[in-house]
Structure 1
């Protein structure tokens, strides 16, 4: 899809003349896919003005009207699931078989629509008086939501949906690397009857993102991405003391106990590790910790799953493995592999090279597995954000937990066991915002999701996720 520039969505208008564009490259072919207009400071100013007006209009509606508009939006997303999935593939070449974040978006919209008419405050007694003391929850006003290239629709669901349900307007910044699905979501907001400007979509790079978080009209920022960028976002937001929620990276421990169903564990670990989004996920289970007694058997099964996963055209429904996002990402990941090999970080069992043949023009890297990796090595401690995983052994539960926790990250952890007592005991000992037992990372709108340690702070999903977009006010009525 090439042609005229893909524009920003501000108010009800598509803006294509911003003075700066980005050439979007389709990762599966390395060829230009679209030209994307990039937002700058002036565009952020205009979007904030539109959002302020729309937020006043939104809050002038009754709660049941706002609830119904969000349900209408969920219906519109449902009617366009196939289109949104296709745009996901065009954005970052995720295989169509894994492009299910449009379903996630719909689910979050329906869930939080139900909260729109249920946001309740309270009345409390006060010391030494019979005054009426009310505690109310109110929206911030205009919030900024910054999404990574690998999850624009997921972030639209987990952040934009509760922000709207809480009564806010949103300026949503998708990455310039993957703006197409997000822009279509913005159009669906208009088609569903939301006030123009309630959801503005501003693809942007560092300049536009900096202008967004520094803008005095932005009352809160929700950022999803890496730690380095998060620090810059927090520093910029601090100028106006703007609060920030941050969902950041991970280096998830994936513990395979000796009583696990090894076939299922191998399949789930391959999916959650190098296969899903080619390992380009903060939820990637990139550190496999395997009990010594089943180590060899598990590794054999795990490699067999990887070998059987077809790589190729991401639009092919049979394909399970796609490219990484860019040439620069490919180079960075391969350099990480080469450094690990030269440093003797572990035994390279498979992968470690760029794929050739019909995939040579795309950014494909073979699923890469290192065995017997020391947990103190950079390979085990640094987020690779690619299809690279390490495997190491443990001999008892305490060692498994210590190794899993021996990282600065704490977003996800995975446990495979048939022992219910062990599952409860280990999950409580793991320093992680989410622990998945005999499962992949299946984020749902009912459950709060977020990190410990340097994996961030704040939550999406559940009541906790809604509260991130509400502020508390006390009102005291004197009666004495």
Structure 2
């Protein structure tokens, strides 16, 4: 079945014009793989080079624009984008697989990012006086052409949290959304781009390798912002190194949740834990991917989570009763299925539960019921990898030191959580956990979108921010008088 395609289907945005591309592939609905939601263009190297050239030209004037004008334009764009949220939620669900609730929340948060960054810009851009013997100011200036490469799992918010501060800081951007679900991003960025001079926002689609190689090897590109796998992030760093490009990367995660002996495991807590595990079908880099529980509470946690998972309604996210949609694409579906099979063959005890909303059409999409796994250890594949799906290992521990050792035994260090009634214990453990952020009695995201914290080890390259990410896309310099 082929649906009516959106305006952006099969096109790219260069210098304010939406240009048809010759080669295209279909964007597939993961809830019904016979449905083509739209087309995504496979841009050539020449098109990418043209985007870089256009962005460089636009940067020359945009970087010298008044910050008040930038903020005004962004606020005006936010008003227009807010008007079309409802009409685009369905398309986002159809190309990504999220539920209606998850999809709408992502779109709403994009508008919040726009308004929050615009408000922050005016204060952040002001020169900062440095106390000392000499009168010195810290001043900011735009950096240059910025390439932004974003993933398929949470494409809207992860794209907007980079595009918006980059543009407000005075840069011209080249956005490369994931081929699996670019349509809603492009539709929304179309609204934003119309409020800025041509060439400030450009969009290219297609091969990640082709586009990534070009932007990372071009000296005109001053910043590469990437969200995706650690393996791809390493390749980007290699390619960017000869040009000493600035890289800002949010990479993989294998987040541990530590449930201590005194944890309050009432119904609300278990619901929060379930959300931390199964949000977006587990396809979140900062989702809980390993649960370590004090041995005295192990059976209780398994029992309560099994009951909570049994209430999860899996189906097409368009249907309002669905609480977990399909996985986004065949490659991820096959990986998680294979991981489950290998775990079972290695002796893991897999507890699969949940509700199939429409069993008769179950095989039409990338559907998967949630699973808990016991009987695995620290060396099990399920524990070592970033599974990125609705399956979670539960591992007991006896001593606090053991819990810390197990939690830190990973090349990743994105997020972690500590579940205990003693906040001082939570802080003490957080000080020793190798994670960019630690949550207490929850495992979620920061409600204040101005805040962000980098992953440690192989989970990212950046720094903590209080300014909506504006500082990732600008250079600071000292002015001495």
Q: Would the TM-score normalized by the shorter structure come out above 0.5?
A: yes
SS of residue matched to 2:314: coil
Q: Note the 1:30-45 alignment, pairs <5 A.
A: 30-31=33-34, 32-45=36-49
How far has the Cα of 1:142 moved from its partner? 1.1
Q: Verify: 1:121 aligned to 2:123, yes or no.
A: no
1:457 corresponds, among 439, 455, 461, to 461
Which residue does 1:421 correspond to in 2? 424
SS of residue matched to 1:231: helix
How far has the Cα of 1:407 moved from its partner? 1.0
Residue by residue over 1:191-219, the C-alpha shift from the partner in whole angstroms, topping out at 9 and shown as x without a partner, is: 4x211221112222221232222222211
Q: Note the 1:133-172 alignment, pairs <5 A.
A: 134-172=137-175
Alpha-carbon contact 2:65-2:170 (below 8 Å) kept = no
How far has the Cα of 1:83 moved from its partner? 3.0
Unmatched runs of 5 consecutive residues or more in structure 1: none
Check 1:83–1:460 CA distance in 2 against 1; reply closer, same or farther (3 A cut).
farther
1:111 corresponds, among 103, 113, 116, to 116
Alpha-carbon contact 1:25-1:33 (below 8 Å) kept = yes
2:303 corresponds, among 300, 303, 317, to 300
Check 1:123–1:302 CA distance in 2 against 1; reply closer, same or farther (3 A cut).
closer
Q: Verify: 1:201 aligned to 2:203, yes or no.
A: yes
2:350 corresponds, among 342, 348, 351, to 348
Alpha-carbon contact 1:372-1:393 (below 8 Å) kept = no
1:232 corresponds, among 215, 232, 235, to 235
Task: Give distance in 2, aligned partners of 1:471 and 1:123.
Answer: 16
Which residue does 1:182 correspond to in 2? 185
Task: Give distance in 1, aligned partners of 2:470 and 2:291.
Answer: 33
Residue by residue over 1:301-346, the C-alpha shift from the partner in whole angstroms, topping out at 9 and shown as x without a partner, is: 11111111111121112211111122222111111111112122x3
Residue by residue over 1:175-201, the C-alpha shift from the partner in whole angstroms, topping out at 9 and shown as x without a partner, is: 11110111012211134x211221112
Task: Give distance in 2, aligned partners of 1:11 and 1:189.
Answer: 14
Check 1:45–1:421 CA distance in 2 against 1; reply closer, same or farther (3 A cut).
same
How far has the Cα of 1:7 moved from its partner? 0.9
Task: Give distance in 2, aligned partners of 1:241 and 1:473.
Answer: 18
2:28 corresponds, among 25, 29, 39, to 25
Task: Give distance in 1, aligned partners of 2:96 and 2:161.
Answer: 20
Check 1:124–1:265 CA distance in 2 against 1; reply closer, same or farther (3 A cut).
closer
Task: Give distance in 1, aligned partners of 2:61 and 2:107.
Answer: 27
Q: Verify: 1:333 aligned to 2:339, yes or no.
A: no
Residue by residue over 1:236-291, the C-alpha shift from the partner in whole angstroms, topping out at 9 and shown as x without a partner, is: 22232212111101110012223223122321222121x21111110120101112
SS of residue matched to 1:462: coil
Residue by residue over 1:400-429, the C-alpha shift from the partner in whole angstroms, topping out at 9 and shown as x without a partner, is: 222111111110101222212112111222
Alpha-carbon contact 1:281-1:385 (below 8 Å) kept = yes
Task: Give distance in 1, aligned partners of 2:464 and 2:192.
Answer: 21
Task: Give distance in 1, aligned partners of 2:399 and 2:87.
Answer: 48
How far has the Cα of 1:357 moved from its partner? 3.0
Task: Give distance in 2, aligned partners of 1:196 and 1:438.
Answer: 47
Task: Give distance in 1, aligned partners of 2:337 and 2:183.
Answer: 28
Check 1:235–1:367 CA distance in 2 against 1; reply closer, same or farther (3 A cut).
same
Which residue does 1:78 correspond to in 2? 82
Q: Verify: 1:173 aligned to 2:179, yes or no.
A: no
Alpha-carbon contact 1:459-1:465 (below 8 Å) kept = no
How far has the Cα of 1:474 moved from its partner? 3.6
Alpha-carbon contact 1:137-1:470 (below 8 Å) kept = yes
Alpha-carbon contact 1:38-1:208 (below 8 Å) kept = no
Alpha-carbon contact 2:81-2:192 (below 8 Å) kept = no
SS of residue matched to 2:291: strand
Residue by residue over 1:336-366, the C-alpha shift from the partner in whole angstroms, topping out at 9 and shown as x without a partner, is: 111112122x3212269x9953221101122
How far has the Cα of 1:450 moved from its partner? 2.1
Alpha-carbon contact 2:64-2:170 (below 8 Å) kept = no
Check 1:259–1:98 CA distance in 2 against 1; reply closer, same or farther (3 A cut).
same
Q: Verify: 1:448 aligned to 2:446, yes or no.
A: no
Residue by residue over 1:432-472, the C-alpha shift from the partner in whole angstroms, topping out at 9 and shown as x without a partner, is: 00111122322332322320111011047523832211112
SS of residue matched to 1:30: strand
SS of residue matched to 1:360: helix
Alpha-carbon contact 1:272-1:285 (below 8 Å) kept = yes
Which residue does 2:408 correspond to in 1? 405
TM-score in terms of structure 2 length: 0.92
Check 1:213–1:185 CA distance in 2 against 1; reply closer, same or farther (3 A cut).
farther
Pairwise CA RMSD: 2.4
How far has the Cα of 1:88 moved from its partner? 2.0
How far has the Cα of 1:369 moved from its partner? 1.4
Alpha-carbon contact 1:145-1:160 (below 8 Å) kept = yes
TM-score in terms of structure 1 length: 0.92
Which residue does 2:321 correspond to in 1? 318
Task: Give distance in 1, aligned partners of 2:257 and 2:48.
Answer: 41
SS of residue matched to 2:427: helix
How far has the Cα of 1:393 moved from its partner? 0.8
Task: Give distance in 2, aligned partners of 1:460 and 1:40.
Answer: 36
